[in-house]
Structures are given as C-alpha cells and as structure tokens.
Amino acid sequence: MADGQLLYVSYHKVVNRLKYEYPQYSSLIELIFLHNEYSKGEAAKIIFGVTEIREVVEKIWLKAAKEIEFELNFKDIQEECKSIGEYSSIPLDIRLYGYRLFLGCKDGLYESRLNLEDNYQINPSHLEKCYDGKVIGVNANYGSVVISADWDGLLTGEILDFDSKFRLDERHPQCKRSLRTGWMTTDLMNYEGTSEFDYYRNEYLQKKDTEEKHFYSKAKISERKIIKQFGTEVYGMETLFNKSNIDKEDIVYSFNSSQKGFFVMSDGSILNATVRANGLADSYYISSRSTNFAKFDKDIIDKPLSSCIVPSGCILEFFDKVVLIQNSQSLSLVNHSVNSVRSYTSSTNYRNIVSVVDDDKVTFCSIFGLDSLIHKPAFPKNPVPVNGFEPMINEKQGKDLPF
C-alpha cells in the first residue's frame, strides 16, 4: 500500500466477492479463476480429448475474454484485508515459500512466517528484517532461497523446517552480480544482465520413496529433492554455447523454463534450446538444435523488461505492453507500462493465473489451459499472425516442446 502497509486477503474471498457482484456470471467466474477441478483427472482428459468439446469450450473462453471484464473496487474487499506489517522502502519483489513470505525491498529483505493453522488458514507474523542490502529479486525452491542483490551478488539461504530462523549467507556471495534467477529443476540460471548468464549446478539429496514427499507438512520441508550444496560447478556462456548454433552476441534478452533456455535475438526472433549434460566432460551445454519459438517485428517491439513462463508459452513485459505468447498466438494482455508481472506455474491450482500489477490496481488474467491435458502437439502447424507477431512453427515439434 502507499502508506507502507503490507496487506493480505484470501484469494477465495476476492473471487466470492466477484461472484456476488456479477451473479449472472457466477459459474463462469468459478470456472475461470478457481481451482479448475473440471480440467483435472482422467475423466477430464477423456471429455476434453474430444476435439469438438474442447473447441466449443475454447470459443466460449475467448468470447468471454473479449467481451467481459470483471472489476472490483478495493473498498469492496478492504474489510477482509489484514496487515502483516510495514516496510520502509520500495518493494521490488515478493515470494512465498515454505509457508514464509519474503519481501525484497530497496533497503533490505523482510520475512513473515505464515503459520499454517489446523484449518489450513494462515496467521502471518509481522514482517521482520533479515538482510540490510538492496534486494531486487527473490527465488526459492528445493529448500533454498536465493537473493539477487545486484552488485552485492547472489546470496543463498536454507529453509529446512518451519520453526527455525531463516539466515542468509551474506559473507559468501555466489557471484559478483545478480539481477534475476531462474530454476532449471534443481540447478539455477543466474542473470548478470539482460542477456548474460551463468549456469549453477547444485548438489542435492534425493528423498527415498518411503519418506514424505508432500511439501505442505507442518513438521518440516519435505520436498522430494533438497539442495545440499549450492554452485558445485558454474558454467559460463563460452562453455554453454560451445555446441550451439545460436550466436550469443546477437542475444538481446534471455530467460529460461525448467528445461530450456529462451533467447530474444536482435532480429526480433525468439529461439529456445534444451540445456543438456555432457556425460563425458561432466559439464553442461546448450543443445545445437534450437527451435524458432516466435518472430517479432523488431521495428515495433523493444527489448523485453521481464519475462515469466506459463503452460505452453511465456509472457514478455515491454515498456508499453504485456504480451502472452502461447500455442502459436500472440496476445496483448495490457497495452501500457506496468510495475510487475507474475505467473504461478509451480501451483497445482493456479498455474493458469497471471497477475499484472499497476500503480493503482492488480489485474488477474486466466489463460486457457486445456491444451496441457491433451496428448497432442503443443503448437498447431499453421502459424497465426496477430498484431505484427509472426509465430514460427516447426512441423516436427512435438508435445514435449518447447517446455
């Protein structure tokens, strides 16, 4: 908030209020913004495996997206909001992990324990400062929290249970600079610039099948894999691009999913390629086979400011718009500058939701997500140009590409 308060409210309460304000669209709102149980399970795969059924649902979805816009005023949900505490400088990033909330700000890192109760409701503690330097990016997975602290480097910390105090290793930064990071399963890409990055190989422990695998245990972090040692090997761009046909000098922006690197090139194209392990040399490299993911008109599109992954696609933030690229189509979600864009692909229930934050509002976008259930190629063979974007489709591309 403008007064420095960090507030939280149940997402379900927001959706329920939306249903109350738009009773004629109650079922549609629930279908779009809630758990989407309709698309889970083997029964859903069979039903939506019928092409005609899936196409009808998709047409309804697209029609609703074009013709209907739901809106709530903050005063409609203000009474449901609760304060976690105050921050004293501009927030730059936020991350929830291990039932803790981390808020990265210009003056440091703040933490709140969310305190899961027996009814699965949260009771957050007030914000506590746990690092004094500038934090521009927060990321977390596999029992580790990584902090991008600009010229103070890449800092790491551990969360192995819900009771212990979180500590950040400030004395041993992993590198000299970090602007953002992206997980490659248990490994990590650290971006020192818009197009410069290193690959960090991490040593991890694999839990036995007899051990707990569910993350949301009250006792401890119980993911299947836990990072034991961070950055046992680091591979720079010279090593990574040793076998690639991508000219790294032409890359203007890069980002990654869990298995692939994405590269926005100077000619407006977006290429992607798998990061592979070289068993003989015990190193990693970017595959010599790259795929044309999309083609932009470089005269009307600037360098991306940020990016995030969504099912079967990605979202790019530009100076004057936010663009979704998915299933060979490009769609502008908003046509103005924004503060931040966030997707939730690690969530089971909300992986199709994207939030766009402006100065005075938050927009939730729900992406049509049935394609991930269907055993078919992720992209159709016929390109569909939209508003100056020319998707490039490889006819041999299968459902496992590009994600």
Q: Answer whether 98's CB lies under 8 Å from 163's CB.
A: no
For 298-330, how does the pLDDT look when each residue is reduced to its tens digit (9 = 90+)? Answer: 765 678 999 999 988 899 999 999 999 887 678
- 225 and 369 housed in the same domain: no
Q: Which of 235, 270, 298 is the last residue of a domain?
A: 235
N- to C-terminal Cα separation, the chain: 36
Q: Which helix (H) or strand (E) holds 62?
A: helix 51-67
Whether residue 392 sits in one domain with residue 253: yes
Regarding whether 116 and 146 lie in a shared domain, the answer is yes
AA letter at 329: Q
The whole-model pTM stands at 0.82
Domain's final residue, options 195, 220, 235: 235
Average pLDDT over the chain reads 82
C-beta neighbour count of 37 within 10 angstroms? 11
Residues 285 and 362 in one domain: yes
pLDDT of residue 204: 92
Give the pLDDT score at 372. Answer: 55
Residue 265 falls within a domain, yes or no?
yes
Same domain, 149 and 281: no
**How many domains, in total, are found in the chain?**
2
**Is residue 253 located within the same domain as residue 157?**
no
With respect to residue 322, please indicate whether it lies within any of the assigned structural domains.
Answer: yes
Whether 248 and 145 share a structural domain: no
pLDDT band at 296 (very low <50, low <70, confident <90, very high): confident
Beta-strand relationship, 108-113 and 180-184: unpaired
| Pair (281, 375) in one structural domain | yes
Do 243 and 369 fall within a single domain?
Answer: yes
pLDDT for residue 397 is more than 70: no
C-beta separation of 152 from 126 below 8 A: no
Strand duo 329-334 + 100-105: pairing: unpaired
Verify that 216 and 332 share a domain, yes or no: no
Q: What integer pLDDT is reported at residue 114 of this predicted model?
A: 86
- DSSP code of 314? E
pLDDT at 210 over 50: no
User: For residue 122, what are the domain limits?
Assistant: 87-235
98 with 206, same domain?
yes
Determine the longest span between alpha carbons in the chain, in angstroms.
Answer: 62
CATH number of the domain residue 181 falls in: 2.40.128
Same domain for 223 and 282, yes or no, is: no
